[in-house]
Structure 1
Amino acid sequence: MVIEEIDTTSPRGALALRLADAVQRRWPSEVQAVGVRGSLAHGDDTDTSDVNLVVLTHRPRSGPRPTLRKVEGIPVELEVLAADEALVKARQLTPRWPLLADRYMTTFALHDPKDCFAELREAHQNLLGEARPAEFTQLARHDWATANGARRRAIRLTQWCDTEAALVMIADARVHAALVAGLLTRTWFRNAADAVKRTGVAAADMRELGAILKYQADELAARGRPVDGTVGALFD
């Protein structure tokens, strides 16, 4: 659910408004819409939150440049997309859908005279309404393979006593296992941390993660997308 108005008493809310004004003043003929995503759009930002600003432009490669940095002590992520490009992406399903849907469904407009963000939300809602279950299952199998590969590499790295690298791989495996769960249940998440927490894999060790992946493999097979198969099945 998108908030009805931004909290201007919050340092992050006040900064978002100032940034939106600065963008409009500097690129008045190129900027079509400016909005915020993430915790500000959900209305639950805290002192540790970022400002996730998104700018839609009339043409590709115009307006401000995307960047990630601090402004007055507050982390700011500036995403810049041509409005047409953003609309194309809103109509696509990818293996990262559980981490991407929120940006279409929950964006608070700071400047949007043509209701671009509402159009993106409607386009994504239509996509979800029209998508067949098999499309989500196919994407889930892709994430399962990534999770399984990361877990296998983590095991191998542990055997080589490369604990630091193994921890990176196991974290990657957890995220992709969470994406599998999200795709199979058509659930999206705020971010990767939210995904692993809500799916119960945040603290899973390699043995527990193996059991989770085994369960997911069985579920995928039951839905007609087995994780293993013949040479010919690779191209199906």
Structure 2
Amino acid sequence: MIAELDASTPRGSLAIRLRDAILERWPAEVKAVGLCGSMAHGDDTDSSDVNVIVVTYRPKTGPKPTQRRVDGIPVDLRVVTAEEGLGQARSLTPNWPLLADAFITTFPLHDPEDWFKDRREAHLNLLSEARPMEFTGLARHNWAIAGGAHTRAARLAQWYDTDAALILMAQARLHTALVAGLLTHTHFRSTVDAVKHTGVAAADMQELGAILKYQAEELTARGRPVDGRLGALFD
């Protein structure tokens, strides 16, 4: 994570202006304001978004979540209550590989009570206590989505519905990447990073099918088979 924000860049300047505008308009409702994503890591580029998270004391207060451009720069504004945000950091979900980076790496623009530090510690404690089978169970969930999307994409390709097949292949690649992330306890910076990091971004129908077959075997070896009897549906 960066040690200090460079306010001389257009994105850094905009982040400061956003923080000041939020605190001026909702001084009693906002507990903390932080930066996530590439700006928090310090490797943002001219095409990067400004990813801002606003933490409120109570629900339905503060700014509304939004995505839009400000002075030509894409802004992703997310809002969460302090209680909800800590609860998310203490929970493992199928989307964990895409959520963990924000839990671990957020640069505080305004955080007088060290809420972002508390959230980070809460998530690291969760990871230290989580059992391998929890990750495997979540991986099986993503495998089911990936496998289903891959099967439907293959069928649509046979029917020459190429556009729909491409959409489903993108879904299959993403969830295949999430399976890999969960099995290796690896989190990613974004959906693009996930498919590139796991090597599935350019996988064609046959290659992705082979990867899914390998993942199914790995899940079975870890006690979470992707196919089974009716009773196993509720395990």
Q: Same fold (TM over 0.5)?
A: yes
1:158-216, CA deviations, whole angstroms, 9 ceiling, x for partnerless residues? 12211111101001100000000000000000001001111010100010000000000
**Rounded Cα–Cα distance in structure 2 between residues aligned with 1:126 and 1:140:** 21
What is residue 224 of structure 1 aligned with on the other side? 223
What secondary structure, in the 3-state scheme, does the structure 1 residue paired with 2:33 have? strand
TM-score by length of 1: 0.99
What is residue 199 of structure 2 aligned with on the other side? 200
What is residue 128 of structure 1 aligned with on the other side? 127
What is residue 161 of structure 2 aligned with on the other side? 162
What is residue 56 of structure 1 aligned with on the other side? 55
Amino acid at match of 1:16: A
**Rounded Cα–Cα distance in structure 1 between residues aligned with 2:103 and 2:9:** 23
Off by >4 Å, runs of 4+ in structure 1 = none
Extract unaligned runs of 5+ from structure 1: none
Alignment pair present for 1:22 and 2:25: no
1:5-63, CA deviations, whole angstroms, 9 ceiling, x for partnerless residues? 11212211110011001000000000000001001000011000000000000101100
What secondary structure, in the 3-state scheme, does the structure 2 residue paired with 1:226 have? coil
Alignment pair present for 1:119 and 2:122: no
1:3 deviates by 1.1
Taking only the aligned residue pairs, the percentage that are identical comes to: 67
**Rounded Cα–Cα distance in structure 2 between residues aligned with 1:109 and 1:132:** 31
TM-score by length of 2: 0.99
1:147-167, CA deviations, whole angstroms, 9 ceiling, x for partnerless residues? 000101111111221111110
**Coordinate RMSD, CA, aligned:** 0.6
What is residue 84 of structure 2 aligned with on the other side? 85
**Rounded Cα–Cα distance in structure 1 between residues aligned with 2:102 and 2:8:** 24
Out of 9-18 and 207-216, give the one that drifted further: 9-18
1:119-161, CA deviations, whole angstroms, 9 ceiling, x for partnerless residues? 1100000000000000000000000000000101111111221
What secondary structure, in the 3-state scheme, does the structure 2 residue paired with 1:233 have? helix
What secondary structure, in the 3-state scheme, does the structure 2 residue paired with 1:183 have? helix
What secondary structure, in the 3-state scheme, does the structure 1 residue paired with 2:46 have? coil
**Rounded Cα–Cα distance in structure 2 between residues aligned with 1:156 and 1:30:** 51
1:235 deviates by 1.2
Extract unaligned runs of 5+ from structure 2: none
Alignment pair present for 1:213 and 2:215: no
**Rounded Cα–Cα distance in structure 2 between residues aligned with 1:232 and 1:55:** 43
Out of 155-164 and 189-198, give the one that drifted further: 155-164
> How many correspondences in the alignment?
235
Amino acid at match of 1:211: A
1:220 deviates by 0.4
Amino acid at match of 1:199: T
**Rounded Cα–Cα distance in structure 2 between residues aligned with 1:40 and 1:158:** 40
